[in-house]
Structure 1
Amino acid sequence: MYAHVFDVDIRFPDLADEAWDEFDRMFPGIRDTLPCVASGSGGASRHLHFLTDKPFFGRKLAVSKAKHRTANGGWTYNWEIDLFGTGRQVAMPPSIHPATGIAYHWEREYDLEGLEFGGGPVIDADAIERLGIASTGAFDFEASPPKTFTPGQMESELDALSLDILDDRAKWVMLGQALHHQFGGAQEGFDLWMRYSAKSESYLKGSSLNAELRRYRGFGRNRRQPVTMATVRRWYLEERDAAKLAFAIAELDDLDDAGTPVATMPASDDESGEFDDLLNAERPAAKSTDESVFDIGLTDAAPDWKTLLAISEKGSIEPNLHNLRLIVENDKRTAGVMAFNEFTQEVVQRGAPGVRSPNRKNQAKPFVQLSGPIWTLRDRANGDFWTEEKDDSIRAMIEAPKTQGGYGIKVPDRDLRAAINIVGRKNCFHPVREYLSAQQWDGTPRVERLFIDYLGSPDDVYGRDTARLMMIAGVARIFEPGCKWDYVVILQGLQGKRKSTFISTLAKNWAAELEGDMTDTRAMVEAMQKAWILEIPELAGFTRADVRHIKGFVSRQTDKVRLAYAKRTQEYRRQSIFCGSTNDFKFLKDDTGNRRFWPIGCHVESIDIDRLRAEVDQLWAEAVVLYRAMRAEQPVGDLPLYLTGAAAQAIAVQHQESAQVESADEAQAGQIGAWLDSPIMSGSVDDDQDAEGRAIVRNETCLLEIWVDCLKKDRGLYNQQTAQMLGRAMRMVPGWTVEKKARRYNRAYGLQRVIARDVETPPWPDAGGSV
């Protein structure tokens, strides 16, 4: 079988019904049966997965009648339906969409195992071959419209091009292609090309005007990525800038020690001042005659930072990012104030502002300082949130007149935020890492008995190993962000035992509840940035689909997302661990396996939180020692943070099975198993018993027979969804194997995928029949 995908790309959600109506017309009755992925682009676009017995190349199956103009001026369809086949790639969950930062996710999952029972999402190849390819218009040329020039601008820029470009055959051809695109292949474009080509000594050597005209007319064949006048204009700008740079360097060489003004090159009104930064950056700042420029507050550690400031022609400080960074980093009032919290991944205030005193005695006007309640430091461990009010206060300080301790420059908001961010990131800290590194273990073992002593859990190898591994994982995620840790300890017990308080106390100041949609990567990353231990509350309240999402979510080591305040997608390595809580004794609902969940019973009346607060520092101090010993034993690679002993694994399975909620598939598997092992009753003694008088049971069956004879359902209601449901149930019945190929089963059911009883497996104990 060959895997394919229908890409239903709906650019306007209001037109979703129109697109799906067209899909239903081409493939009636199958839309709701195919595995479906919601696109990370958001909206109504979907990927429908299916299988065929033939491979197909990608085809465009249908498009909307109407089109819309895109932001770049081109045209595109309102919706399109494509077949992705051989040679095509498609994003799969949990991939992150690069533009939105949203994860692709399954709406209907792909049940590959159901294929062996003939219930997979298969479409007849003939149904696809009967479809034609939707016609599309050639709008690629219009997608790159001619460039706009002012009268005479294009001709003057062409005149300024050097002979080097005309003598370079590749660039000379590109010039002709650009003119062909600009004039739509008209004769005027060819005449201009030949006019400027005549400047070169290679003009028409070994060629003729008719030959070049034929070449020119052939340029229009490539409409997908045409060469435009933007390329030619880039050549012009590069040559112009190179000339200006050479002129500036030559003028800088003529500067004398007295600070002779630099000569300027004539420029048009729209280009005036374009190279001021270049000239000023090269001229030593000490040559300025305005001594008051340097009457500013300095830190003792950097007495010469003022010489790095970019100074204008008039001797004033340029209001650019370079200068703002120097000021924020070195002014006594801001130096050391901001820092970057590597745990929460944000700039915070971690230092108190300094005071800048005037150099003169009897200063007439007071200096602007950073003072007031917003600068009172409240959280020295994590740092205080950096607020817009702090940006405003620093802006007011910098924009103040020099006579009041300011710099007298207008501060752009974007540059000020960038300067604060740059300076803050040069002063990084990690509060949880600092906390762990500061703890000294007293040598008394406590970690392995965490659940035993505080929760009243049984004193067995499972309880000791899970406590030890969870604590080491908590330390490892801090010292090695993104390290592998796939498990969630679930605290199980009646309400009122203070399970949530136990989790928050263990996490010190870095605990949070994991709420919301776990497929929303942005929201989850924002929650994880502030927490060391994340509680997943009331696991019993989640659906089976939710639990599957949780399993995939907790096993990830990194998250790629563009946060709400960020401009680019970033990768965030996880620094937290998860701990669940539930008041129910039956809470595991995933029939595909629950190995990632480690249930821990809470058997005390109320957890002793006061004792935990007194000992929590020593618990983490010991965990750090255990982590370092484990890393020393295995210097590279993933740490063995999983149950390794057979006894602990066996107890884990027992706890997981006892917490398993019976699914509908499991209940149905029990009913089917009992029917398969019941004697066949035809009403005839000769047919119902073997030669030895023992009752005869079925050795073969098929899904349709189970549907009709076992479940007593209407044969006309049997469809792909019911086949998948029965296939899942049959996989839970022990001792039965599906045959690889379909064959004639019997007269009543014809050609079927037969499911046969294993020879080695007897009937269930209570059947009383023969095999």
Structure 2
Amino acid sequence: MSKQDFQNLTKEQMEKLQILLGELQSSSVTEEIPIKEPPLSELFTRDEKGKILQSKNNCLLVLNHDPLFAGKIKYNEFSDKVDICGDFPWKRYSVTYCDNDLRHIILYLESEYGLKKDGDIATAINIAAYDNSYNPIKEKLLSLKWDGISRLPDALHHFLGAAKSRLNTEILKVFMLGAIVRIFDPGHKFEYMPVLVGGQGAGKSTFLRLLAMEDRYFSDDIKKLDDDKIYARLQGHWINEIPEMLAVSSAKAVEETKKFLSTQSDIYRVPYETTAMDHPRQCVFAGTSNKIHFLPMDKSGNRRFLPVEVHPEDADCHILDDEKA
């Protein structure tokens, strides 16, 4: 429409035009139209002939931006492993990344993007994970909301029939604070170990497992402290039970246990890594025993060991009968 056309408009036409322009300005027509992202293949690095390069960078581009993988590949700071979270078109039994996941990811990148180098894909998976780390226990603890009911003071009595005493309350409080602090400050100095003392079937191990919130964060697999595989057994476990404290009946064994509890960081090589690294501890330890005299007399007073006698017959609720009580 030219300037002359505007001059030829009648007053009534001009008023209608002004109304129309006002409606257009207030309508969604003036809203910004989202820019459509180009296909990932257009972002790939290519050779001088325009052919897609078989590179780690292109593999990483897919893992970071393809909707199937974006944000789902994570490094688990607690377990020292790679996790793949979310739904995928293949059967999975755990969030922990495994060889079967790698095989399916290789198949997907080859069929969808023509990326075929297995080694590049495996490297890109590790890079994507380490750039997107998380700690599942820390996230779970931060998500919890207190309902205003104080349960800790009576927990040992309620579930295990331990005496209602300030000492027992403080033992459990110190233990749980130590466990939580080590999640938020790995390697924090914490050398105390409560020892639940009672007969078979008292629910000692079950109680410790419940404190860990999930079964996978609890372990009773520590048999010997001088085991070469002890550090692998600690990986991914928050609450670790040292069963049958009768195993530390000698003075030498007691000293070895004290030294183990006082350690704040462990140096070991994670499977599939090439170098050993320092791993500040994020876990705590609790012992169980059938007899109260599980330690020999010691000049230091054995201050690291905090015994709690349990009597399931006095419990408000037997933990083995109703774990949700």
Q: TM-score, normalising length from structure 2?
A: 0.79
Answering whether residue 19 of structure 2 is matched by residue 309 of structure 1, we say no
Q: Deviations over 1:206-232 (max 9, x none)?
A: xxxxxxxxxxxxxxxxxxxxxxxxxxx
The one of 153, 177, 199 aligned to 1:448: 153
Answering whether residue 239 of structure 2 is matched by residue 529 of structure 1, we say no
Q: Deviations over 1:606-630 (max 9, x none)?
A: 6622798446xxxxxxxxxxxxxxx
3-state secondary structure, aligned to 1:442 = coil
Decide whether the 8 Å contact of 1:489 with 1:579 is kept in 2: yes
3-state secondary structure, aligned to 1:313 = coil
Q: What's the offset of the Cα at 1:536?
A: 0.4
The one of 295, 302, 307 aligned to 1:599: 307
Query: Any gaps of 5 or more consecutive residues in structure 2?
Result: 1-34
Tell me how far apart the structure 1 counterparts of residues 238 and 322 of structure 2 sit (CA, whole Å). Answer: 17
Q: What's the offset of the Cα at 1:302?
A: 6.4
Q: What's the offset of the Cα at 1:581?
A: 0.3
Partner of 2:71: 336
3-state secondary structure, aligned to 1:598 = strand
Tell me how far apart the structure 2 counterparts of residues 520 and 308 of structure 1 sit (CA, whole Å). Answer: 50
Task: Give the letter for the 2:77 counterpart.
Answer: E
Decide whether the 8 Å contact of 1:559 with 1:573 is kept in 2: yes
Relative distance call for 1:537 and 1:610 in structure 2 (3 A) is closer
Tell me how far apart the structure 2 counterparts of residues 539 and 430 of structure 1 sit (CA, whole Å). Answer: 31
Q: Deviations over 1:293-336 (max 9, x none)?
A: xxxxxxx9964865653211221121121221112222233323
Relative contact order higher in (CA < 8 Å, ≥ 6 apart): 2
Q: Deviations over 1:545-602 (max 9, x none)?
A: 3332221111111111112321111121211111110011211136353110000011
The one of 603, 608, 620 aligned to 2:318: 608
Task: Give the letter for the 2:319 counterpart.
Answer: I
Partner of 1:422: 127
Decide whether the 8 Å contact of 1:547 with 1:590 is kept in 2: no
Partner of 1:397: 108
Q: Deviations over 1:492-541 (max 9, x none)?
A: 112221211111122121210142442346x2222222211100000113
3-state secondary structure, aligned to 1:398 = helix
Q: Deviations over 1:123-153 (max 9, x none)?
A: xxxxxxxxxxxxxxxxxxxxxxxxxxxxxxx
Decide whether the 8 Å contact of 2:220 with 2:242 is kept in 1: yes
Tell me how far apart the structure 1 counterparts of residues 194 and 99 of structure 2 sit (CA, whole Å). Answer: 40
What RMSD in Å do the two structures reach over aligned CA positions?
2.5
Answering whether residue 182 of structure 2 is matched by residue 472 of structure 1, we say no
The one of 158, 163, 168 aligned to 1:463: 168
Partner of 1:386: 97
The one of 250, 258, 282 aligned to 1:575: 282
Tell me how far apart the structure 1 counterparts of residues 321 and 171 of structure 2 sit (CA, whole Å). Answer: 21
Decide whether the 8 Å contact of 2:90 with 2:104 is kept in 1: no
Query: Equivalent pairs: percent with the same residue?
Result: 29
Tell me how far apart the structure 2 counterparts of residues 528 and 434 of structure 1 sit (CA, whole Å). Answer: 20
Relative distance call for 1:447 and 1:303 in structure 2 (3 A) is farther
Decide whether the 8 Å contact of 2:76 with 2:82 is kept in 1: yes
Decide whether the 8 Å contact of 2:160 with 2:203 is kept in 1: no
Relative distance call for 1:473 and 1:310 in structure 2 (3 A) is same
Relative distance call for 1:349 and 1:454 in structure 2 (3 A) is same
3-state secondary structure, aligned to 1:566 = coil
Decide whether the 8 Å contact of 1:336 with 1:351 is kept in 2: no
3-state secondary structure, aligned to 2:205 = helix
Q: What's the offset of the Cα at 1:412?
A: 3.6
Decide whether the 8 Å contact of 2:265 with 2:279 is kept in 1: yes
Relative distance call for 1:611 and 1:306 in structure 2 (3 A) is same
Decide whether the 8 Å contact of 1:319 with 1:411 is kept in 2: yes
Relative distance call for 1:389 and 1:543 in structure 2 (3 A) is same
Tell me how far apart the structure 2 counterparts of residues 456 and 449 of structure 1 sit (CA, whole Å). Answer: 9
Tell me how far apart the structure 2 counterparts of residues 337 and 301 of structure 1 sit (CA, whole Å). Answer: 23
Q: What's the offset of the Cα at 1:396?
A: 1.8
Please show how residues 156-171 of structure 1 align to structure 2 within 5 Å. Answer: none
Which has the higher Rg, Structure 1 or Structure 2? 1
3-state secondary structure, aligned to 2:69 = coil
Bigger CA drift: 606-615 or 481-490? 606-615
Relative distance call for 1:566 and 1:592 in structure 2 (3 A) is farther
Decide whether the 8 Å contact of 2:212 with 2:238 is kept in 1: yes
Answering whether residue 199 of structure 2 is matched by residue 481 of structure 1, we say no
3-state secondary structure, aligned to 1:385 = coil
The one of 268, 290, 293 aligned to 1:586: 293
Task: Give the letter for the 1:524 counterpart.
Answer: I
Tell me how far apart the structure 2 counterparts of residues 425 and 540 of structure 1 sit (CA, whole Å). Answer: 42
Relative distance call for 1:498 and 1:305 in structure 2 (3 A) is same
Partner of 2:211: 506
3-state secondary structure, aligned to 2:113 = coil
Tell me how far apart the structure 2 counterparts of residues 502 and 301 of structure 1 sit (CA, whole Å). Answer: 54
Relative distance call for 1:574 and 1:542 in structure 2 (3 A) is same
Q: What's the offset of the Cα at 1:489?
A: 0.2
3-state secondary structure, aligned to 1:500 = helix
Relative distance call for 1:406 and 1:320 in structure 2 (3 A) is closer
Decide whether the 8 Å contact of 2:249 with 2:294 is kept in 1: no
Bigger CA drift: 391-400 or 586-595? 586-595
Task: Give the letter for the 1:396 counterpart.
Answer: L
3-state secondary structure, aligned to 1:490 = strand
The one of 372, 381, 392 aligned to 2:90: 372
Q: TM-score, normalising length from structure 1?
A: 0.35
Query: Any gaps of 5 or more consecutive residues in structure 1?
Result: 1-299, 354-370, 616-771
Please show how residues 708-723 of structure 1 align to structure 2 within 5 Å. Answer: none
Task: Give the letter for the 2:282 counterpart.
Answer: Q
Tell me how far apart the structure 1 counterparts of residues 238 and 212 of structure 2 sit (CA, whole Å). Answer: 6
Aligned residues: 285
Please show how residues 616-631 of structure 1 align to structure 2 within 5 Å. Answer: none
Task: Give the letter for the 2:318 counterpart.
Answer: D
Please show how residues 22-41 of structure 1 align to structure 2 within 5 Å. Answer: none
Partner of 1:345: 80
Q: What's the offset of the Cα at 1:395?
A: 1.4
3-state secondary structure, aligned to 1:495 = coil
Answering whether residue 196 of structure 2 is matched by residue 491 of structure 1, we say yes
Tell me how far apart the structure 1 counterparts of residues 297 and 54 of structure 2 sit (CA, whole Å). Answer: 60
3-state secondary structure, aligned to 1:373 = coil
Tell me how far apart the structure 2 counterparts of residues 429 and 301 of structure 1 sit (CA, whole Å). Answer: 31
Q: What's the offset of the Cα at 1:429?
A: 2.4
